[in-house]
Amino acid sequence: MSKQWMNWSSRLKTSRWATDGLDTFTVIFDACVLYPAPLRDVLLELSVEGIFLARWTDQIHDEWIRNVLANNPHISDEQLARTRTLMDQAVPDCLVTGHESLAAGLALPDPNDRHVLAAAIVAHAGAIVTFNTKDFPDHVLESYGLEALHPDDFLIYQFDLAQETVCTAIKRLRSRLKRPPMDVETYLACLARQQLPKLVQKLQPFKHLLSSEPI
């Protein structure tokens, strides 16, 4: 299990959640963006900062955990259960409930995605962050005031809105990596492999900020 989660609780006390009580943009994370650990780390690190409201459901948890276990036999149920618990503890009001009955009446290309749209509607979200944007057609989402955003697009929007916060979060993530440690170039290459080329391009001019001493 990644060690990125371990400092979330203490940092939450000084985040924008605690200090400003901001009414910020709400998003639902689809299971596919929580599946890869490096991307999950970035999304959760920024979620704790409070520059947006991140939400998900127990069903979304079940899906990404099931897929990780199926494809990574060296990872145990216990490790991912702990990750799940720490995620839920770190992000205020992250779990959406009461959406299940709504899902049955929704129309999407893949019926298995209806629970994600239902959660977004109940949460009054502005976007669903997903790699599978074609599974959430614009003509369906627009009627609910929603859009489907690829995580790369979502993250560059956050960078443009809160450049210093994003750079600080990326630096913190990189500096906590120990097995193996990563220099800035290696870490940016890792992010690029997570299908985040636009974010990496945005970060390139700020490499000097990402390489300073750990926070």
What phi, psi does 192 have (nearest 5°)?
Answer: -60, -35
pLDDT attached to residue 213: 54
3-class state of residue 147 by DSSP: strand
Structure-block tokens of residue 206: 């700020």
Which amino acid, residue 73? P
Q: What is the pLDDT of residues 108-151, one digit of tens each?
A: 999 999 999 999 999 999 999 999 999 999 999 999 999 999 99
This prediction's pTM:
0.88
Residue 93, SS3?
A: coil
- Closest residue by Cα to residue 4 from 187, 190, 176, 178: 176
What pairs with residue 27 in β-bridges?
54, 127
Which residue matches tokens 């945005």?
202
Domain boundaries, the chain: 25-150, 156-209
Determine the CATH number of domain 25-150. 3.40.50.1010
Residue type, 195: Q
Mean pLDDT of the chain: 89
pLDDT tens per residue across span 29-54: 999 999 999 999 999 999 998 899 99
Roughly how many angstroms between the first and final C-alpha of the chain, as a whole number?
21
Tell whether the torsion through CA atoms of 50, 53, 59 and 65 is positive or negative. Answer: negative
179 falls in which pLDDT band (50, 70, 90)?
A: confident
